[in-house]
Every structure is written in C-alpha cells, then in structure tokens.
Chains A and B, each alone.
Chain A
Amino acid sequence: MTVTDPHAPALRLEGVRKVYPMADGEVVALERADLTVDRGEIVALVGPSGSGKTTLCSIAGGILRASGGTIVVGGDDISGYSPKQLTAFRRRAVGFVFQTVNLVPFLTARENLLVVDEIGARTGAPARARADQLLEELGLADRAKNLPSQLSGGQRQRVAIGRALMNDPTLVLFDEPTSALDSKLGRQVMELIRSEMTARGIAAIVVTHDERITAFADRTVHISDGVLDA
C-alpha cells in the first residue's frame, strides 16, 4: 500500500476521461479533465444537469473507474487500482456525502458513524471517542441515539457529514449536499462543511447547482458537457 505523501496535493486529475458505451455510439461524460485540489482547499463544482459533476466525483473518490487519465489522491495514484484496491482506498482516504440522505435507517446517528469503523479498521474505543467528538462538533450530541427517521433533514445531512469524516480522509466529496434542504438550512450546512474542513485541513469538492453556495468555497470550477473550464 502506498504511503500517503503529506505534501502531495489532495487530488490531482490529469487528462481524465469517462466514456459510457451506449447502443447508439457512446456518451462522453468527462473530457480530458485536469484539476488539482490542494490540501484543505474547498472547490465548488458547478454545472448544468448532465454535465459530468457526479461522474467526476465518483472517479475522484474511486467508486468509478475512468476510461483514461491519471488520478492521484493524496499521493496515491489510483488510476490502475483493482476494484479490491479501490474498496480499501475508499475506506482509508475518502469520504462521501450523497445528494439523497443515505444513512442506515435502523441505526442511530452514532451507530451510523461507527459503521465506518465496523466495515474497516474495527478499532473500537478510539472510533467511539471520535464519533462522539464529531457528533459534538456537528451539534448532534443530544441526537446521538436517534434513528434517522427521528431527525430533521438538516440533522441527517450533518450525520452524513460526520460519517464522511470518521476515517479522517484526505478528500471529501459532496454531491449536492444541500439540494434537499431549504436555503437557510443549506447555508448552515455549508458553513459547517467550511468550518469542519478548514479545522481539519481536509480538501473537499462540493457539487452544487446553487451559485450562492460557491461563496463558501475557496474556488469555483465550472463544468459543461464534460469539459472543465480553465
């Protein structure tokens, strides 16, 4: 396993392509994407529907394999990883926050955070301490024992953020984290993302349709038809 280089950028994409073969030709979802995200940097990724935002995040996070190009996360070149290696890589180095709330419905807020430990390192006590600390920071200490169905939409998204931070990742990928929330809640969640990422020095890509959200990012990158702007 590659030892993560602490000085390497959090993410470096070079000439990354993604082509979906279809019955009538092929769909080019991503065209020669070049993007570097520094440690601790928050990049907003903005673009119309179908422009390739989710595709880019999926490739950067190792849940989708690119058709070509180089993907380096925190110094690990994952371009040639096997599915098995990618699974281990995701456990170790990235966090995901999905558009729809994807918590385990029969687990409490705290247990949803601990899932990350149970499917991976199984450290036990340190993981529990980390979960409690994250819940505290996310303002969910008094909701730790609630099931997702007993939480508001914003609270659920905060639990999802906590889960993404459990493995102390290099990079967190947010795919439209606020689209299910009203604008006030959306802003609160963005503020939280901002402060959590900055405090930890974790890099993030935040996909959004909402230009107002970009105010919380260090930089905004636009994408249309699979092509990133310079």
Chain B
Amino acid sequence: MKIALRELRRRPGRFATATVILTLIALLLLFLGGLLDGLIRNSTGAVRAQQGGVVVSSAASQSSFLRSRIDPDLRARVAAAPGVEEVGGLGIVQLGARVPGNGPRDLADVALFGVEIAPRGVPNVPDTGEVWADRILEADGVRVGTELLLGPARSPVVVVGFVEDTNYLGQAGLWGSPATWRSVVAANRPAEIVADGVFQSLVVRGSGSPVDLAAAVDAATGGATLSLTIADTANAIPGVAEQRGTFNQIIGVTVAIAIVVIALFFALLTVERVALYGVLKAIGARSRTIFAGLVVQAIVVTVIASTVATVVVLLLDAAIPPGSIPVTITVPRIVSSVLSLLVAAVAGSAFSLRRVLRVDPASAIGSSS
C-alpha cells in the first residue's frame, strides 16, 4: 500500500494520462448530471412549489394540466373526501410575453398560473392584474414593477415580486389570481375558456401521507379524478421521464467508458510491472497485497480526477449566466457521480487481478535469462 502511494508520488508522470482522461470523463459525468437536474428542475418547478400533498386532475386528462377540467361539483366531492383539509383550484395558460424595452419578436416564454393557494415563495395570492414572476425572467430584463404584455391580445400584468424555481416545462412561472388567469385565457385563447368555478387541477392539503390522501380522493370521486403526489405529478409532466431515461443511459455509458479506461490503463501498468511483482512475490508479498496497491492507485487517481472535475464544474456553474444553459450543480449529484466513478475504478482495476495472480515468483530469480 505504502509502495503504491509512493509510486504515485514519485512517478506522477506514469499516471498523468489516466488522470487527465478520467478528469474529462468526470467532467462529462458532472455536466450531464447537472444538465439533467437543470432540465428536470426547469420542467417541474411549478409543481414542486405547490403547497399541498396531492394534485388532482380529471381522470380523462391522463394527468396533463392542460387537458384537465374540474367543475365545482367534482371539486365538492374532492373537498368532502376523508382527510382533505383544504382544496385550491389551479389553472394554467402558456403564452409569449412582451417585455418593454425588448424587441417585438423577443418574447419571453411564460406559463401563467391562476391559483387559490399561493405557491412556496409567494406570500399570498396577488391582486387581479398582478403577478409574482420566476426569477429566471430577470435575465430578460424583467424587474419588479415591469408590465408584461401576454399573448397576441397583449393582456397586461404587472410583476410585483420574484420567486425561485417555479418554472413549467422550461417556461417562466407567473403566479396570479384565478381571475387574472381567466381574463388572460379569455383574451388570448377563447377556445379554452372555462366557466367560472371550473379549474384545471386542484391542489389538496390534508392529513396523513400524500399517497393515502390521493387514494382517498380518487375513492371519494368514484374514479372521476386522478390524484398524484407532488413528486408523481412532477414525474408525469410530459418529457420528464423521457429526459431522465435518456440522460441516465448516457451517464451509464460514460461510467462504462470510465471502467474501460481504468481497466486498460491498469492492465498496461501491470504488464509493465511483471518483473517488479515477481521480485515482490519472491520475497514473500501476497497477491492480495499487490492487488490492493493497484486498487489504491486507481482510487487515488479517480479521487484526484473527480476533485479537479468538481472544481471546474463549480467554476463553470458560477460563470454560466442564469437562464442560458439549464445546468444545476447539486451536492447529491456530485456525490453520486464521484461514487459511481469510484465503483468504476475498483471494477476497472479488478480486470488486472488475474494477471497479478499469474505472476510467478520464480520469474524473479531469472531462469538463466
């Protein structure tokens, strides 16, 4: 073990290539993970910001906000379900917003929500004509007091505050009253007008676990509703599961490449060291001791590569202007990426185990060679 560490310290050049390649792989892994987290965050913020345990949509909607309709009658049955304490209606319309000072084609994509229960970060439901905006809109020049003109009808709303992490499918969340939502829908999407008292979804607060609450609501409505926990609602947003699946596959391939790189590199190193290992075995070193040294070297190289990559990614994260690339670097993502690389290091170096076991101590005492 000491021998392996000393070799790392005294012959760093030997490990430079592997360290550089692994650093690039670690960088790729962290960046992919950050991109996935950022994309998901940007798609699901509006749902995750809801202050309730369960989101209720109509059964026919297949959990899409946009298709769902809940009339007052159904709402009353939801409110009467056991365990339900509070029910808030929710409606959404996706539009382009003109920001004063920006060019006429330079629209900001927004999702205007009309809510009865204010989301996390919004103190209370704003007055009609006023909205709280997601902070991402600051990048478009939006400030508190800015009047946004929504949609082809240029319905005006005034920004009265900013909230964090409330986007829906990459569109900036705007949070207003149900009346604001209804009037904007009426002006811009006449086909989607819903009657007073009708919402697209309901946010339900109650006692007990959200899973039980969702089941209780669906039972009370006789299957007319589809109720999901906040997390399940977020996952059901179109594209979220697909993005996660695709990225996780790419991440998996990247880890596999890391295993191959480590395996090849340490296999080469082992071949170079056959004579040295022969001598060590002749003087009594166990294969286990020699192999442990190899694994330690693989781990140290991986730790160095991961550390450098983490620092680079954090610097990049700080340098990327908000709203340009949806990269979110989180501690759990860094930890899981580094852990998967460490597993790759052990798995990769394990390919050299057989070669280490095969080294013959008799080779050290040179059979007349």
Query: B-contacting residues of A (Cβ < 8 Å)?
Result: 49-50, 54-55, 57-58, 61, 63-64, 84, 87-92, 95-96, 98-100, 102, 104-107, 111, 115-116, 118-120, 163-164, 167, 173, 175
Residues of B within 8 A of A88 (CB): 284
A96 B282 Cβ-Cβ under 8 A = yes
B283 A91 Cβ-Cβ under 8 A = yes
For A54, give its contact among B7, B10, B368 (CB under 8 Å): B368
- Known contacts A104-B3, A106-B11, A119-B289; A90 and B365 CB within 8 A of each other: no
A106 B7 Cβ-Cβ under 8 A = yes
How far, in angstroms, from A63 to B360 measured CA to CA in the complex?
8
A98 B365 Cβ-Cβ under 8 A = yes
29 A-B pairs within 8 Å (CB atoms) are namely: A54-B365, A54-B368, A57-B365, A58-B362, A58-B365, A63-B361, A63-B364, A84-B286, A90-B282, A90-B283, A92-B284, A95-B283, A98-B364, A98-B365, A104-B3, A105-B276, A106-B6, A107-B3, A111-B6, A115-B280, A115-B283, A118-B3, A119-B280, A119-B284, A119-B285, A119-B289, A164-B283, A167-B284, A175-B365
How far, in angstroms, from A88 to B283 measured CA to CA in the complex?
9
A116 B3 Cβ-Cβ under 8 A = no
B side interface size, CB within 8 A = 25
Residues of A within 8 A of B324 (CB): none
Q: Mark B1-13, 1 if CB is under 8 A from A, else 0.
A: 1110011001100
A104 B362 Cβ-Cβ under 8 A = no
Query: A-contacting residues of B (Cβ < 8 Å)?
Result: 1-3, 6-7, 10-11, 275-276, 279-286, 289, 361-362, 364-368
Residues of A within 8 A of B1 (CB): 118
How far, in angstroms, from A156 to B356 measured CA to CA in the complex?
26
A-B contacts besides A57-B365, A90-B361, 11 pairs, CB < 8 Å = A63-B282, A88-B284, A90-B284, A92-B284, A96-B282, A104-B3, A104-B279, A115-B280, A118-B2, A120-B284, A167-B284
For B281, give its contact among A87, A115, A175 (CB under 8 Å): A87
- Known contacts A107-B3, A107-B6, A115-B280; A96 and B285 CB within 8 A of each other: no
